[in-house]
Amino acid sequence: MIIVIQCRDQVGLVASISSILARAGLNIVSMREHVEKEDNRFFSRIEAEGLALHEGWQQELRAALPPEASLQINPLPEKRLAVLVTREYHCLGDILLRHQFGTLGARLACVLGNHPDLGDLCRRFEVPFLHVPHEGRPREAFESALLDGLAPYQPDFLVLAKFMRILSPAFVAQYRHRIINIHHSFLPAFAGAQPYRQAFARGVKLIGATSHFVTDDLDEGPIIAQQIIPVTHRHRVEDMVRAGKEVETAVLARAMQLVFEDRVLVHRNKTIVFE
């Protein structure tokens, strides 16, 4: 059982929470806490096990927290995932392999692509693929078709595995803090298009990748995970792209794991990550 709490900080919170779980017969296996002092906000992720001795412990726990508290009690359900793609296969290929061998941490319900190129790859893994073309369509019509394609699968999260399309605020609002993107740059550097070309032109010595939640502001959502690798003057743009794909795959996999295990809490435009 995973218990995730976000609320106003106050004296005695940890003691109250621990006492309530103990009286319920639940053993705390792991308890992580963090306080944002500037905002007086308390964050905690608790992993507990055992059979509760009485049904009222959840109500007792809610009553012990400040009135505006966010409390989630998740018995580690299998989360449903939908992936949006364009033509690049490296991130999708990693997701398909992890799903095939049971290490993804979620059930891959479907893949939607605005080009048909990756359909054969999905079919090899017996994962439904829906081609939703964007060409010749207004963005509203395209996004409406995406939502119609997603509706039968009711995904808990969307992953943009190199989707390379900007989603409207109206679409993002349907999955607030549930759309995970991988950007081929160490944000906030080189946001937007062609970051490797931007990095090459700037002569940087480090490149990386960033996974973040999608918001209305392009490539500015709360960051979940990042990683960097060194480059030198000998690296051309093509070399950076090739090296960067490995980093993108690793960072996206790490971000998904953290999110699916309920280790990521969003506060304003940043994340609290209990690794």
* pLDDT, tens only, 134-173: 999 999 999 999 999 999 999 999 999 999 899 999 999 9
Provide the whole-model pTM.
Answer: 0.92
Q: State the Cα–Cα distance between residues 100 and 104, nearest whole angstrom.
A: 8
At 237, is the pLDDT very low, low, confident or very high (cuts 50, 70, 90)? Answer: confident
Residue 119 has pLDDT above 90, yes or no: yes
pLDDT given for residue 253 in this prediction: 97
Question: What token pair was written down for 6?
Answer: 């976000």
- 200-to-65, 228, 249 alpha-carbon distances in Å: 51, 15, 21
At 118, is the pLDDT very low, low, confident or very high (cuts 50, 70, 90)? Answer: very high
pLDDT given for residue 207 in this prediction: 85
pLDDT, average across residues 100-110:
97
Taking all residues of the chain, what is their mean pLDDT, rounded to a whole number? 93
pLDDT given for residue 184 in this prediction: 81
Q: Which residues of 31-62 are buried (b: 16+ CB within 10 A; e: fewer)?
A: bebbeeeeeebbbbbbbbeeeeeeeebeeebe
- 193-to-111, 165, 196, 231 alpha-carbon distances in Å: 23, 10, 9, 20
In three-state form (DSSP H/G/I as H, E/B as E, the rest C), the secondary structure along 134-171 is CCCCCHHHHHHHHHHHHHHHCCCEEEECCCCCCCCHHH
pLDDT given for residue 219 in this prediction: 84
* pLDDT, tens only, 48-98: 999 888 889 999 999 999 999 999 998 777 899 999 999 999 999 999 999
Residue 252 has pLDDT above 90, yes or no: yes
Question: Which residues face 83 on adjacent strands?
Answer: 111, 159
Are the beta carbons of 168 and 208 closer than 8 angstroms? no
Question: Which residue, 154, 146, 207, is CA-closest to 171?
Answer: 146
Q: Which positions are catalytic?
A: 219
